Amino acid sequence: MTIRQAHDIFVVRQRGREVAAALGLEEQDQIRIATALSEVARQMLAAVGGAEVSFQAVGRHAPQSLQVDVVSPVPLTQADLTRGDPLPVGRLVDTLSVSHADAVTVVTMSRRLPPSAARLTPERLDALRAELAATSPGSPLDELAAQNQQLIAALDEVRSQRDELARLNAELQETNRGVLALYGQLSEELEETNRGVVALYAELDEKSAQLRGANEAKTRFLANASHELRAPVTAIIGLARLLADASSDPLTAEQLRQVELIRGSATDLLGLVNDLLDLAKAESGRIEPSWEDVDLCAVFGQLRGTLRALASRPQFELVVEEPEPPALIRSDEVLLSRVLRNLLHNGLKFTERGEVRMRARLDDGRWELSVSDTGVGIPPELHERIFEEFYQVPSATPVPGAGTGTGLGLPYARRLVTLLGGSLTVSSEPGRGSTFTVRLPVRGGP
Ligand code: ADP
């Protein structure tokens, strides 16, 4: 098509739209490429007074494109093309390029056909060309009317997009308000919970302070009471011994039996008082271990010597295994001996036949000292209870002559082991004996 006057711009725009429609471009794209074309043609007409326009189908296979060349008969500069009111024409098409050759300037623009468009074969192109040739271009007024329609449609679309945007904005604001409200509610709830937790902690602190106070009062009472009791009970034992002494006035057999009963009871009472005093002392934290290097061989040897006399029963043996030297531990010898003696005593007390065996072995940087017996054993559900003050297993009766005990030995032993930085545990089965294990660090102390 040739452009020589302003009227031609309308025609070329209309043709551009018709070609784009025939090739299968969608309506919006038809308007875009027709607008770009008419704008470039208008500028060229203004700059050099004319132009040639040609339409081409490019590409053999999909995606094919519609290419429009606008050729200026004389060379043009970029400034010539953008003079006046430059439109961002490039944005309306897929490609836009300007080339200069053989004293002409060509502005080439193209738009890709949609995948839905029918493929353009030479035959189809011939048919389309014939179809287009058969229609005569309308008047500039017709094109102006069409352009107006397009403008109205475009404006409509812009308005509906703006409305949609406003609606989305309102929705977003609503959502935001919702989120803010939820956030407010959550932080209030969190604050409420926090207040509750703080109050709970305060109450807990108060309760544990009360408990500590009560425990201290109990310990003080035990210490005072047992201390006060010790002197009169010792006096009773002394008096009973004096009464029964052969050098005193002779007693009748019945009197002698009763005095012996008094002495036995008083001796038991003194044992209880002493145990209570020991435990109260351990609990009040007034026992300070004196840390030293202790030779376990010596401790074991001493215990073997002092307890052998208590183990002179038939079908029974006390075995204190010699630890493999050098068996050194940093601990408090007196407290450690007291713990082990206590455990050995219990073993002797609750084992009629078989043996009580004490051994020491190093295990992963700790000394493991165990006292095992073949005695009555302890039901599993009572393994922790026996460490409570005054608790004694009801079914376990000590061997005759071993005394009744106080139920304070194990709690005391566990306290001492804790003071020495270790632990005291039991494993036992009724009828199969018990093993008490003391685990201590090789280097205890501060
Ligand atoms: P006591 O021996 O003076 O009763 P303990 O605190 O030493 O107090 O022991 C508490 C209880 O644990 C004992 O009364 C006994 O029932 C049980 N017990 C302790 N050692 C053994 C053991 N070696 N075998 C069986 N029962 C034991």
Confidence band for 148, pLDDT divided at 50, 70 and 90: confident
Q: State mean pLDDT over 207-219.
A: 89
Closest C-alpha residue for ligand 1 atom 25: 377
Strand 354-363 relative to strand 316-320, pairing: parallel
Q: How many CA atoms lie within 13 A of 30 on its CB side?
A: 17
* Whether residue 421 has its Cβ less than 6 Å from ligand 1: no
CB 419 within 8 A of CB 287: yes
CA distances from 392 to 149, 155, 272, 365, 406 (A): 106, 98, 14, 34, 8
Six token digits for residue 354: 């078989």
226 Rama class: left (phi>0) / alpha (psi -120 to 50) / beta: alpha
Ligand 1, atom nearest to 394 Cα: 16
Reduced to 3 states (helix: H, G, I; strand: E, B; else coil), residue 424 is strand
* Whether residue 413 has its Cβ less than 6 Å from ligand 1: no
Distance CA 38, CA 3 (A): 10
Six token digits for residue 151: 């403008």
Q: State mean pLDDT over 127-149.
A: 83
* Whether residue 347 has its Cβ less than 6 Å from ligand 1: yes
* Whether residue 433 has its Cβ less than 6 Å from ligand 1: no
Reduced to 3 states (helix: H, G, I; strand: E, B; else coil), residue 426 is strand
Distance CA 51, CA 108 (A): 13
CA of 430 to the centre of ligand 1 (A): 13
- Residue 81, pLDDT score: 66
∠ CA 88-89-93, rounded to 5°: 125
CA of 412 to the centre of ligand 1 (A): 12
Give residue-wise pLDDT tens across range 246-288.
888 888 999 899 999 999 889 888 888 888 888 888 877 778 8
Give residue-wise pLDDT tens across range 335-349.
999 999 999 999 999
**Average pLDDT of the residues of the chain:** 89
Nearest 5°: phi and psi at 17?
A: -65, -40
In this structure, the number of other CB atoms found within 10 A of the CB of residue 138 comes to 15
Q: State mean pLDDT over 308-322.
A: 90
Closest C-alpha residue for ligand 1 atom 8: 407
CB 416 within 8 A of CB 430: no
Place of tokens 């703080």: 198
How buried is 161 (Cβ within 10 angstroms: 0-12 exposed, 13-18 middle, 19+ buried)? exposed
- Top mutation candidate among 276, 316, 338, 346 for ligand 1, by most atoms within 8 Å of CB: 346
Strand partners, 106: 71, 99
Distance CA 359, CA 418 (A): 20
Closest C-alpha residue for ligand 1 atom 23: 347
Ligand 1, atom nearest to 375 Cα: 24
CB 348 within 8 A of CB 307: yes
Nearest 5°: phi and psi at 250?
A: -65, 145
* Whether residue 1 has its Cβ less than 6 Å from ligand 1: no
CA of 346 to the centre of ligand 1 (A): 6
* Whether residue 410 has its Cβ less than 6 Å from ligand 1: yes
Give residue-wise pLDDT tens across range 367-384.
999 999 999 999 999 999
Q: Which residue has the higher pLDDT, 111 or 101?
A: 111
**Helix %, strand %, coil % for the chain, to 5?**
55, 20, 25
- Residue 200, pLDDT score: 93
Reduced to 3 states (helix: H, G, I; strand: E, B; else coil), residue 62 is coil
User: Per-residue pLDDT for 135 more than 70?
Assistant: yes
- Residue 84, pLDDT score: 47
Q: State mean pLDDT over 59-74.
A: 90
Closest C-alpha residue for ligand 1 atom 7: 409
Closest C-alpha residue for ligand 1 atom 3: 405
CA distances from 157 to 32, 116, 443 (A): 15, 24, 87
* Whether residue 396 has its Cβ less than 6 Å from ligand 1: yes
Q: Which residue has the higher pLDDT, 216 or 368?
A: 368
- Residue 86, pLDDT score: 46
Nearest 5°: phi and psi at 113?
A: -80, 150
- Top mutation candidate among 272, 273, 349 for ligand 1, by most atoms within 8 Å of CB: 349
Ligand 1, atom nearest to 377 Cα: 25
Q: Model pTM?
A: 0.54
Which range, 142-146, 153-157, 186-190, 398-402, is most confident?
Answer: 186-190
User: Per-residue pLDDT for 85 more than 50?
Assistant: no
Distance CA 257, CA 243 (A): 11
Distance CA 138, CA 15 (A): 9
Confidence band for 82, pLDDT divided at 50, 70 and 90: low
Which CB contacts under 8 angstroms, 24+ apart, belong to 176-182?
none
Q: State mean pLDDT over 167-180.
A: 94
- Top mutation candidate among 392, 427, 434 for ligand 1, by most atoms within 8 Å of CB: 392
* Whether residue 376 has its Cβ less than 6 Å from ligand 1: yes
